[in-house]
Amino acid sequence: MKYCKSHFEGRITRPIYRGILTDKFIYKFPSLNGNEAIATFSSMNEHDLTVLSKLAFEENIPVLLNPSQHYRFMGQFIEMVEKELPLVEIILMRLVEAALVRMAPAMFKKKVFICQDISPEIEDLKRLRKCFIAFQDYIKIHSFVAGNNTIYVDLYSSEECAGGFNAIRRGIIELGTDELVPPVIEDISDGRNQQHGA
């Protein structure tokens, strides 16, 4: 049986949820029950904020998701995977910086594994020929965090399971992501690399 890698690459280019960035360090957004919630770096003093303001990266890259919206996006992705790809055993997610807001409930599901660098896990699971999906984003959620608002999703699975990847692709696009490259399914059985269109 073929073991395949299906790849999606996209970029968020516009706000996809309601919510505003009130300043560089305080995020204000509507919560699920309609009340406003605020996340702030409460333990920092004025000097700390002055120092942080000088750490801004890539000012030409817009902040389009606040931390709460970022977690919401990740949660919706997990729910899509569970619905469209029930055979997926593990959902790997890259999270470089934990935010001071509540994570989406879906992020605590048993099959979800979150860490800063998922590369070693990808290699281990590939070796075991597991059916899994890897989600890596570089979404800029603060003015002082590096990122270019790109998203990379890779499904490692049998060729039959790979067919469900198109539903994930469409779902990510519908959430507000622009696809950057044509979808590709790559045969990685026995270390071979043979690509064909999805």
pLDDT in tens, 160-188: 787 789 999 999 999 999 999 998 889 99
Domain that holds residue 46: 3-197
Other beta carbons within 10 angstroms of residue 147's beta carbon come to 18
Strands 3-12 and 184-187: antiparallel
Separation in Å, CA 42 to CA 25, 31, 39, 48: 10, 19, 8, 11
Alpha helix stretches (DSSP H) within the chain: 46-53, 67-84, 119-127, 159-162, 165-175
* Position 60 pLDDT exceeds 50: yes
**CA-based nearest residue to 153, from 198, 109, 108, 110:** 198
Closest CA to 11 of 58, 65, 80, 76: 65
Helix, strand, coil percentages for the chain (3-state, nearest 5): 30, 30, 40
What percent of the chain lies above the pLDDT cut of 70? 72
The amino acid sitting at 26 is I
Considering the entire predicted model, what is its pTM?
A: 0.79
**Mean pLDDT value across residues 44-59:** 59
Instruction: Please give the full DSSP string across 39-50, using - where no structure is assigned.
Output: EE-TT--HHHHH
* Total domains in the fold of the chain: 1
Task: Return the pLDDT at 29.
Answer: 42
Split at pLDDT 50, 70, 90, the class of 93 is very high
